[in-house]
Amino acid sequence: MPNPQTVNVAGIPKRILLEALLAVTKDITATELNMDDAWREYMIYKGPASQICGRVLECDIHPDAVNPVGFDRANRQEGMFAAVVNGLHKRLNDAK
């Protein structure tokens, strides 16, 4: 039985998910995002990452079921993570 506090990210390539999340997250550095650098930094983490290239992530997107609470809280918008994921699922399904 799925955990009601998790969001299903199965089927979304992790790099696409990371890019979409970092595009909407709080930027504490005010620098342009370089996705190659962000991807390399993400690949270093084996669990939750608090920040990637100065953007607040506060979650672990490695598994297919992600607890979004830290991301939503850090970015001060409940449901933000789920909205990004739902948009990606729709975009990827429409592309099929």
Give residue-wise pLDDT tens across range 33-89: 899 999 999 988 777 888 888 888 899 999 999 999 999 999 888 999 999 999 999
The DSSP symbol for 26 reads -
pTM for the predicted model, two decimal places: 0.88
Cα–Cα–Cα angle for 84, 80, 67, nearest 5°? 90
Q: Are 50 and 28 in contact (CB under 8 A)?
A: no
